[in-house]
């Protein structure tokens, strides 16, 4: 039986969470506490830092999601994640529904089809926690088909506990860094640098600056309309530039562009 958010704030739960601060089982305790507020099927925590590769702090994923997560997401595909883009755009601390982070048309993107849809993910909710020089923590919970998306009432319940959760995660990461006791899994060596370099230097000998801008937006999940809005050009002009870049790269679709990007990523030194 699902409990209320008051169980998350109960003295017993707070004591368990405080005792777990700085330890390797903090996120397990946090997930158990949060399950008293809302039903979800998977969870993860990733630390992003613009100056080094991301780190996987914790994961409790479904078997199918776990395979795809390690095979694709952590090896560079994360760049198209709406949550990662939120981090890159310096969003404030807080709770974010997956839908509000998605660029327009994201569910028609190759990233959505290749990772989220194939993993059976139905919905996600994210807590963003900015820990300053220690990095930016993205703690997420997910639901999988045939479960329903998070309702407004459920998101409100999560919002009610978000300030406490964010404070706990911040303090935990400070303690963990001090004690150097946190077991983290670094992503592939220099992945972050490779991804950012390739996005900003995508086929410079073949594409114009505008075509590279459009390629970057398409790869990160933007629709034609969203890309046009970001570049302050008309959708028709965007489509012309997109057609030219596809012709130059001998591609036919967004899906092929995304695959092309991942193949190029593996070749970057």
pLDDT of residue 31: 95
Asked if 155 contacts 95 with a C-beta cutoff of 8 angstroms, the reply is: yes
Name the phi and psi angles at 266, rounded to 5: -70, -20
User: 175 and 21 in contact (C-beta within 8 Å)?
Assistant: yes
* Residue ranges in the chain whose pLDDT is less than 50: 1-3, 181-182, 188-190
Q: What is the helix (H) or strand (E) element at residue 46, kind and residue range?
A: strand 42-49
| 222 preceded by a cis bond (ω within 30 of 0) | no
Q: Say what percent of the chain tops pLDDT 70.
A: 86
Burial tier of 23 (Cβ tally within 10 Å: 0-12, 13-18, 19+): middle
Contact predicate 260/249, CB 8 Å: yes
Tens digits of per-residue pLDDT, 171-211?
899 888 766 544 555 554 445 666 777 888 889 889 999 99
**pTM tops 0.75:** no
Burial label, 49 (beta-carbon count in 10 A; 0-12, 13-18, 19+): middle
């Amino acid at each position: 039986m699902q409990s209320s958010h008051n169980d998350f704030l109960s003295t017993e739960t707070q004591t368990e969470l405080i005792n777990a601060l700085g330890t390797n089982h903090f996120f397990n305790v946090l997930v158990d506490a949060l399950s008293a507020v809302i039903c979800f099927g998977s969870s993860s925590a990733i630390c992003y830092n613009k100056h080094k590769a991301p780190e996987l702090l914790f994961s409790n994923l479904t078997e199918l999601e776990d395979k795809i997560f390690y095979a694709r997401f952590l090896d560079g595909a994360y760049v198209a994640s709406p949550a990662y883009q939120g981090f890159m755009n310096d969003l404030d601390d807080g709770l974010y529904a997956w839908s509000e982070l998605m660029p327009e048309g994201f569910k028609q993107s190759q990233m959505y089809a290749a990772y989220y849809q194939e993993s059976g993910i139905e919905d996600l909710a994210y807590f963003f926690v900015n820990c300053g020089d220690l990095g930016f923590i993205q703690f997420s919970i997910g639901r999988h088909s045939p479960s329903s998306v998070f309702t407004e009432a459920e998101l409100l319940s999560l919002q009610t506990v978000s300030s406490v959760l964010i404070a706990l995660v911040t303090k935990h990461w400070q303690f963990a860094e001090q004690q150097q006791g946190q077991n983290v899994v670094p992503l592939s060596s220099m992945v972050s640098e490779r991804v950012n370099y390739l996005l900003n230097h995508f086929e410079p000998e073949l594409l114009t600056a505008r075509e590279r801008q459009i390629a970057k937006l398409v790869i990160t999940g933007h629709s034609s309309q969203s890309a046009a809005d970001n570049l302050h050009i008309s959708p028709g002009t965007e489509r012309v530039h997109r057609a030219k870049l596809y012709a130059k790269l001998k591609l036919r679709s967004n899906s092929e562009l995304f695959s092309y990007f991942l193949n190029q990523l593996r070749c970057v030194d």
